[in-house]
Amino acid sequence: MSLAPDKRFRAALVQLRSGHAVDANLQSAEALIRRAAQTGAVYVQTPENTAIMELKPERVLEAAQTEENSVPLARFRALAAELGIFLHIGSLAIKLDQTRVANRSYLIEPDGGVTARYDKLHLFDVDLAGGESYRESQNARPGTSAILADLPFGRLGLSICYDLRFPQLYRALAMAGAEFIAVPAAFTRQTGEAHWHVLIRARAIETGAFVLAATQGGLHENGRATFGHSLIVSPWGEVLAEGGEAPGVIFADLDLAASAEARARIPALKHGRDFEIAIAGRSPREARREGS
């Protein structure tokens, strides 16, 4: 498969409903990745937790492997090489030691090589209405670096799921030249219904970048319900493609030149200014002291 010589390319997002069994999840993902490649997509993204969806930390640790021994990673590297695509695995649980994993994205090149790794920066520790509660930090170690990758058609910024709520990350990626940004996710149904569309569109508008977000969707074996609705959004905030709740593939033909056009129309990235927080009647130093 020949890759686009300019900033135009077809991107596809694979939506999954991963469960307990790693091998079954890999088979489902592979079938949909093949379908995506058959549409002509040269960049294919899968969701967060592609290989397994588990709520119990001990089960995640039991299933996790080191990067060197990761069966899912090896299979996806071989698949990317077979199909000749950039395959972006939203995340895998990678074993770091006996008590911790990394929630790690992999960008795999058409020759099967790993061109970028990103460990999720912001971990999902929340208590939602109805007793729904998550503590990702119980077994995951956060990353420490934002990551960009240069592809033949443009510069990609990497993020994962809960990162979406931290706009400073996306502005930093855009300021560093990201023309499209990945947000593979497993948003809960409760938070997705309330916030998913507006946050994805906001990040695209704020950064003047395409945002591509492959998701988990539906009721999983572990009893967790994820929102689905994988999205491809333009730098102007337009929804170019959207999934439903069921597993499947969505795709769109992108021209990353639209990122520069959007940033020229609204040059907010150039207009940002440093500032201090002040409380009326008090010095900035006093305000900082009170906030600490």
- Residue 116 has, within 13 A of its CA and on its CB side, a CA count of 23
Question: Is 161 known to be catalytic?
Answer: yes
The count of domains in the chain is: 1
Is 2 within a domain?
A: no
| E strand or H helix at 34 | helix 22-38
Evaluate whether residue 61 is within a structural domain.
yes
Those residues whose C-beta lies under 8 Å from the C-beta of residue 27, and which sit 6 or more positions away, are none
Q: Is residue 141 pLDDT above 60, yes or no?
A: yes
- Structural domain of 70: 8-291
Global pTM value: 0.94
Domain assignment present for residue 3? The answer is no
Please indicate, yes or no, if residue 66 is contained in any of the structural domains. Answer: yes
Candidates 161, 179, 206, 245; catalytic one: 161
Distances 274 to 41, 245, 277, 283 between C-alpha atoms, Å: 41, 41, 10, 17
Residue 257 amino acid letter: A
Active site residue 48: yes
Whether 231 is in a domain gets the answer yes
**Closest C-alpha among 50, 65, 57 to residue 19:** 50
Residue 151 identity = L
How confident is the model over 152-175, as pLDDT tens digits?
A: 999 999 999 999 999 999 999 999
Establish if 117 belongs to a structural domain: yes
**How high is the pLDDT of residue 292?**
65
- 1 part of a folded domain: no
- Residues 233/201, Cβ–Cβ less than 8 Å: yes
pLDDT band at 222 (very low <50, low <70, confident <90, very high): confident
Indicate the SS3 state at residue 179: coil
Per-residue pLDDT tens over the stretch 38-77: 999 999 999 999 999 988 888 889 999 999 999 999 999 9
Q: What is the mean pLDDT of residues 91-112?
A: 97
- Does residue 168 lie within any of the structural domains? yes
**Residue 133 contacts residue 99 (beta carbons within 8 Å):** no
The active-site residue out of 95, 109, 120, 206 is: 120
Task: Identify whether the C-beta of residue 167 lies closer than 8 Å to the C-beta of residue 203.
Answer: yes
Q: Domain with 52 in it: what CATH number?
A: 3.60.110.10
